[in-house]
Amino acid sequence: MINYLEGKLVEKYPTRIVVDVGGVGYNINIPLSTFDRLQTPGSQLRILTYLHVRKDCQQLYGFITGEEKHLFGLLLSISGIGPKLALTILSGGSVKEIKSAIANKSARILNNIPGVGKKTSERIIVELREKIGDMPELKTEAGDKQTLKQEIIFNDAVLALVSLGYKQLAAKQAVKKAASNVKVKEDTTPEKVIREALRVI
């Protein structure tokens, strides 16, 4: 998995960016919430990424904050929601607004997002309300490399456990303990933390 890319921002559009990393230009799909935080082309950029692989193509999705990436992953766990719709939902408001709509069962707010109908909004609320209630607040932006790396590992591990059927709170507590046990370092991977978390959960 490509957790993040660091390079020069070459092109910037509301729905995608191009980042030059070592002479290779990566096309990355982004939500509006990320676009609003980007600097001008030519600046250095570190962006969190999610690689979506299909038989016919591979697409990168990028996020400035861990919160955005985490919510994107949770949305993808819902049947009927693919990367394109998940990105549209993230573009429909801030992470805080979307979380609030889910937690408060405000289907009307979700319905106002293009492509999200009544059934989809209800499914989002039913499947994510409990998880959103204890969703980790990841406010650190792409800056402190070590802190960012720890948050990426923590987030990916929690998301993996949730996808395996564990409750969000139990997954978060297990990953926190596991991260402490393995002492997150430069060579630590989400897989190492997940294996340790499965031992202590």
Encode pLDDT of 44-72 as tens digits: 999 999 998 877 888 999 999 888 998 99
User: What are residue 121's phi and psi, to 5 degrees?
Assistant: -65, -40
Instruction: Output 142 or 123, whichever has higher pLDDT.
Output: 123
106 three-state secondary structure: coil
What are the structure tokens assigned to 129, written together? 């309300």
- Give pLDDT, residue 49: 94
181: exposed, middle or buried (Cβ count in 10 Å: 0-12, 13-18, 19+):
middle
Structure tokens belonging to residue 75: 């949305």
What is the model's pLDDT at position 40? 92
CA distance 49 to 29: 9
184 and 146 Cβ atoms separated by less than 8 Å: no
Note whether 67 and 97 are within 8 A (CB): no
Least confident segment among 2-6, 9-13, 44-48, 178-182: 178-182
Q: Which of 38-47, 58-67, 158-167 has the lowest mean pLDDT?
A: 158-167
* β-bridge mates for residue 24, sequence order: 21
Number of H helices, E strands in the chain: 9, 5
Percent with pLDDT over 90 in the chain: 29
| Residue 52 backbone class (left: φ over 0; alpha: ψ -120 to 50; beta: rest) | beta
Q: What gap in Å lies between CA 79 and CA 86, rounded to an integer?
A: 11
pTM higher than 0.85 for the full model? no
Instruction: Specify burial of residue 194 (Cβ count, 10 A radius: 0-12, 13-18, 19+).
Output: buried
> Which residues lie across from 19 on neighbouring strands?
9, 26
The rounded distance, in Å, linking the Cα atoms of 198 and 157 is 10
Most confident of 31-45, 102-116, 170-184: 31-45
Averaged pLDDT of the chain: 82
Is the predicted pLDDT of residue 135 greater than 50, yes or no? no
Q: What is the DSSP letter of 31?
A: -
- Amino acid identity of residue 88, one-letter, is T
